[in-house]
Amino acid sequence: MLRAGATEIPLDRVAVMGILNVTPDSFSDGGLWLDPERAVDHALEMVDRGAGIIDVGGESTRPGADPVPEDEELRRVVPVIERLAREVDVPISIDTRKAEVARHAVESGACIVNDTLGEASDEAIWQVAAETGAALVFMHSRGTPATMRSLTDYSDVVEDVALLLAEKAKAIQEAGIPSDALVLDPGFGFAKTAEQNLMLLHHLDRLVEIGYPILSGTSRKSFIGAVLDLPEGERVEGTAATVAWSVMKGARIVRVHDVGPMTRVVRMTEAILGGR
């Protein structure tokens, strides 16, 4: 069970987190949901198709993306979160690198802070979760979207990521966030080569051993494109393989664009694992 404010999110079955990018430049769906009305309609569709969490983001974190000023990020996400809080009955997450964006998002109805700042993250954004009771997702990354491509030097990507996640988990709890309100994300695609992403995915169970729910965010990522030589819009089957593998290896949340197909992949994989 993941505690997120007054909401308890059951994780006995894998939760499907639907991606809602209200940005003009996200790597796969930039511009599609920038209009608040279209964004809310898309979120409602994702819930109908099986999303158990909606993750709203107003700043692209794709490699090479330009930073977005705080006021612009707030302008993008707050109206959407306010509407969704009234219209959907699933938890809402705010995907951000900024503490004040997280705070306003929680005040507007979000109950999960998806902290994508990575190694540079500190108590500012964690305190928002601690003070409001929101759950926190901590994602591994290095540098900024502008620099992360050059920061892929690991002695052992699996152990290095595991060590950083374990260290941050301890610091996050010391900042006042209880263990049952914390999720860890290995950060597929963030400061990692295609080969490193595949290695990390192969050994995802090593991260599960740290002792917190793992979020796997592989949807349409470039390492899938590198393996299959396909553009973002044609990576559904590749994503499905990574989602099934993630469930088999113990992930409790999968973050995806294609909610309907991936929900079916998750439930079928669970049925196989359960033998029923």
* pLDDT value at residue 163: 97
For the stretch 42-78, pLDDT in tens is 999 999 999 999 999 998 777 767 788 999 999 999 9
The CATH number of residue 57's host domain is 3.20.20.20
Minimum mean pLDDT range among 18-22, 113-117, 148-152, 250-254 = 148-152
Alpha-carbon distance 208 to 180, whole Å? 14
pLDDT at 34: 66
Q: How many structural domains does the chain have?
A: 1
How far apart, in whole angstroms, are the C-alpha atoms of residue 177 and residue 184?
A: 13
Cα distance from N-terminal residue to C-terminal residue, the chain? 23
Average pLDDT in the 95-119 region? Answer: 95
- Per-residue pLDDT band for 143 (boundaries 50, 70, 90) equals confident
Does position 26 have pLDDT exceeding 60, yes or no? no
| Residue partners of 177: CB distance under 8 A and separation at least 6 | 126, 129, 130, 136
* pTM assigned to the model: 0.93
> Which value, to the nearest 10 degrees, does the dihedral of the CA atoms of residues 206, 212, 217, 222 take?
-30
Which residues are catalytically annotated? 221, 255
Dihedral angle computed from the Cα positions of residues 9, 216, 117 and 84, in that order, rounded to the nearest 10 degrees: -40
User: How far apart (Å, rounded) are the C-alpha atoms in residues 97 and 118?
Assistant: 9
pLDDT tens-digit series, residues 176-205? 999 999 999 999 999 999 999 999 999 999
Write out the residue range of the structural domain in which residue 197 sits. Answer: 2-274
